Amino acid sequence: EAGVTQFPSHSVIEKGQTVTLRCDPISGHDNLYWYRRVMGKEIKFLLHFVKESKQDESGMPNNRFLAERTGGTYSTLKVQPAELEDSGVYFCASSQPDRITDTQYFGPGTRLTVL
Amino acid sequence: QQQVKQSPQSLIVQKGGISIINCAYENTAFDYFPWYQQFPGKGPALLIAIRPDVSEKKEGRFTISFNKSAKQFSLHIMDSQPGDSATYFCAAYTGANSKLTFGKGITLSVRP
């Protein structure tokens, strides 16, 4: 079974440009999460989808970030316009909770560098 | 305000030794405490997890000790191997909002 995949693995852009990150969750997983790790800091929650609906977007830094999940399958995270402080590794995770646990499976991340 | 604090910041252990990583949390609503292991170029992967109704959980060489009254939990890696060299994150979770709250992570190096 394929794991969570993310594209691209790396992105280097200039300040003010737009970048779109993509996440393909594990097939059949209703829950999809976005997290970000800024260098040297903890991995921080950005938002949570259940199928195509945003369940919690309390971690989104500001309105330059827009996340979508078309048809409850893959998700995109767009940053427009990018700022220097947006640099970091963006992780996507998916899960399908059962009665006992809700293990989140992480993708390899997209390393975003804003120059 | 960091809700989950992890220590030490880095750790170097000799092969065969015991690696100990500590975490402390503040929010008593947390009800699930996973540890994630991350190798370079990979995403964090669940290593072992515990719920607050038990004080210890062991899986192979990995053990979580949990102290509910002190709001602390720790990961012990017995007989540490060079292949255990990775970044380790403790995390906490509440079913009320489903998001993981992570510690800063610690880089473990196991020397041959």
Q: DSSP for B47-87, please give it.
A: EEEE-TT-SEEEETTEEEEEETTTTEEEEEESS--GGG-EE
Confidence of residue A72 (pLDDT cuts 50, 70, 90): confident
**Would you call B41 and A33 a contact, using CB atoms and an 8 Å cutoff?**
no
Instruction: Find residues 15-74 of chain A whose CB sits inside 8 Å of chain B.
Output: 31, 33, 35, 40-45, 48, 55-56, 59
Confidence of residue A84 (pLDDT cuts 50, 70, 90): very high
- Mean pLDDT, residues A33-39: 95
Phi/psi of residue B75, nearest 5 degrees:
-110, 130
Which of B70, B85, B74, B94 has the alpha carbon at shortest distance from B7? B74
Residues above pLDDT 70, as percent of chain A: 97
Q: What does the alpha-carbon distance between residue B41 and residue A110 come to, in Å, rounded to a whole number?
A: 10
Q: What does the alpha-carbon distance between residue B50 and residue B32 come to, in Å, rounded to a whole number?
A: 6
Chain A residue nearest residue B34, CA to CA: A103
Residue A90 and residue A115 in contact, taking contact as beta carbons nearer than 8 Å: no
Residue A77 is predicted with a pLDDT of 98
Residue B23 is predicted with a pLDDT of 97
Residue A1 is predicted with a pLDDT of 64
- Mean pLDDT, residues A35-52: 93
Give the gap in angstroms from C-alpha A17 to the nearest C-alpha of chain B. Answer: 25
| Overall size of chain B counted in residues | 112
Q: Considering only CB atoms, which chain B residues are within 8 Å of A93?
A: 43, 100
A106 touches chain B (CB under 8 A): yes
Q: What does the alpha-carbon distance between residue B29 and residue B96 come to, in Å, rounded to a whole number?
A: 9
Chain B residue nearest residue A41, CA to CA: B104
Q: Considering only CB atoms, which chain B residues are within 8 Å of A102?
A: 32, 93, 95, 98
Residue A71 is predicted with a pLDDT of 87
Residue B112 is predicted with a pLDDT of 92
**Would you call A43 and B44 a contact, using CB atoms and an 8 Å cutoff?**
yes
Residue A2 is predicted with a pLDDT of 81
Q: What residue ranges of chain B have pLDDT lower than 50?
A: none
Residue A99 is predicted with a pLDDT of 59
Q: Considering only CB atoms, which chain B residues are within 8 Å of A108?
A: 41-43
